[in-house]
Chain A
Amino acid sequence: MSQAALLVLADGRFPAGGHAHSGGAEEAVKAGRVTGAADLEEFCRGRLHTTGLVSAALAAAAALGLDPLELDEAADARTPSAALRVAGRRLGRQMMRAARSAWPDPSLDQLAAARPKGAHQPVVLGLAARAAGLGARDAAYCSAYECVSGPATATVRLLSLDPFDATGVLARLAPELDLVVREAAEAAQRAVADGVDELPAASAPLLEVGAEAHAGWPARLFAS
């Protein structure tokens, strides 16, 4: 196992489609809820402790070897917005393609065959981490980081935000990321013993509602 595989998987340039998604930032910017670095930090914090925690726990559970199809259902159940379920599966399919090239493994082939149009992205991410020889915490770190780095990068484009300010936001959130990852990994461990209902089901209603509105816009820069 190579710890450096984590850097490959977590790299923002990993070709798995993330660049076309704003994680709800485009809608929040248009609605005037994110206007600068301070708002962005609050937005990312909210996302980290809700969607981020859930995604990180799903990824950690997949990395621990829980049944990916059961986790895929658990992800559906934790994503009220249909638009976000579509986006999550689309990103999962893209992640699958990249992961199968990077770390070919029968477990990825099996999930790809069972879900040809895509399983939920955190589940695929966790399985990819496992195929790369990484652990549950590594998978959770990737997922949690991506959940804040996506909106931060998108906001740089949407608001022409100073990129140093956006990076500062991510740096300030790092200690909280550690906490969320620990919580996610612990929940994943419990899920191994007691089933997927042990996984967190935190939700950010405004993100879900916003995603539904965003999906209906006639012109937008980001896919979600």
Chain B
Amino acid sequence: MHLDHSHDESTAVSADAHRPDGHRRALRIGLGGPVGSGKTATVAALCKELREELSLAVVTNDIYTREDAEFLLREAVLPPERITAVETGACPHTAIRDDISANLEAVEDLEDEIGPLDLILVESGGDNLTATFSKGLVDAQIFVIDVAGGDDIPRKGGPGVTTADLLVVNKTDLAPYVGSDLEGMAADAKAQRAELPVIFQSLRSDVGVGPVAAWARAQYAAWAASA
């Protein structure tokens, strides 16, 4: 019995930064948040924005099996072999936090089958405000809410809003129609998150996913530099 881990056994160590062959694994970024807030749309936009400069793959965690993966396939944001759906037994938050084994297998298989990857985006099907990703699965996480889901969500907080590495408040184009107070949301988010970043986004605008893509680029640069 040997209870200490070394790199050559890294398949048993989920957060290890190296693959069994000694190469550095891909950076893994999780996207969580309430149902319909725009996670898949953000993933799709990020893929289109970053696919020329980074080798990308996506893992989806759906409630009903393959919805999100099929959307991404239809939109052809990446070749099909770069998109994997994990089945979650109706509980995405279990698969991204409490029992991450299926997700770890999905990311490992992607790296085995496609070769070295730079960035893997892991989407969790819309669940609830307490759903966060395990540190054993992702290196950083984005929590996506939208202005139409109620402008009191930043005030209510919860682990996603308060601790995610990036909070995205999506669908700002809809704010005038649903009477959401964007300044109030910004102030509440600031109060909950202190120095952690918040990006207000509308995928229907010209700016689109640009600022979130810039954040992801910076995460990747930091990850690559720490090798």
Binding site for B on A (CB under 8 A): 13, 15-22, 90, 93-94, 97-98, 100-101, 103-105, 109, 112, 131, 154, 157, 218-223
Q: Which of A97, A100, A105, A154 sits near B89, CB closer than 8 Å?
A: A154
Whether B215 is near chain A, meaning CB under 8 Å from some CB there, is no
**With a CB–CB cut-off of 8 A, which chain A residues contact B95?**
19-20
A-B contact pairs, 26 of them (CB 8 A): A13-B98, A17-B99, A17-B101, A19-B91, A19-B95, A19-B99, A20-B89, A20-B94, A22-B89, A90-B105, A94-B101, A94-B102, A94-B105, A97-B101, A97-B104, A101-B13, A103-B1, A104-B5, A131-B1, A154-B89, A220-B64, A221-B63, A221-B90, A222-B87, A222-B90, A223-B87
Binding site for A on B (CB under 8 A): 1-3, 5, 9, 11-14, 63-67, 87-91, 94-95, 98-102, 104-105
CB distance from B107 to the nearest CB of A (A): 12
Q: Which of B5, B12, B64 sits near A221, CB closer than 8 Å?
A: B64
A20–B94 CA distance with the chains assembled, in angstroms = 9
A19–B103 CA distance with the chains assembled, in angstroms = 13
**With a CB–CB cut-off of 8 A, which chain A residues contact B105?**
90, 93-94, 97
Q: Which of B9, B88, B100 sits near A100, CB closer than 8 Å?
A: B9
Q: A15-B101, A20-B87 are in contact. Are A220 and B65 (CB under 8 A)?
A: yes
**With a CB–CB cut-off of 8 A, which chain B residues contact A16?**
99, 101
**With a CB–CB cut-off of 8 A, which chain B residues contact A22?**
89
Let me know if B3 and A104 touch, CB within 8 A. yes
Q: Which of B64, B65, B67, B90 counts the most A-chain CB atoms under 10 A from its CB? A: B90
**With a CB–CB cut-off of 8 A, which chain A residues contact B14?**
97
CB distance from B1 to the nearest CB of A (A): 6
**With a CB–CB cut-off of 8 A, which chain A residues contact B3?**
104
**With a CB–CB cut-off of 8 A, which chain B residues contact A131?**
1
**With a CB–CB cut-off of 8 A, which chain A residues contact B13?**
101
**With a CB–CB cut-off of 8 A, which chain A residues contact B100?**
15
Let me know if B12 and A19 touch, CB within 8 A. no
Q: Which of A90, A109, A219 sits near B64, CB closer than 8 Å?
A: A219
A131–B100 CA distance with the chains assembled, in angstroms = 22
CB distance from B200 to the nearest CB of A (A): 34
**With a CB–CB cut-off of 8 A, which chain B residues contact A154?**
89
Let me know if A17 and B2 touch, CB within 8 A. no
Let me know if A97 and B12 touch, CB within 8 A. yes
Q: Which of B1, B12, B105 counts the most A-chain CB atoms under 10 A from its CB? A: B12
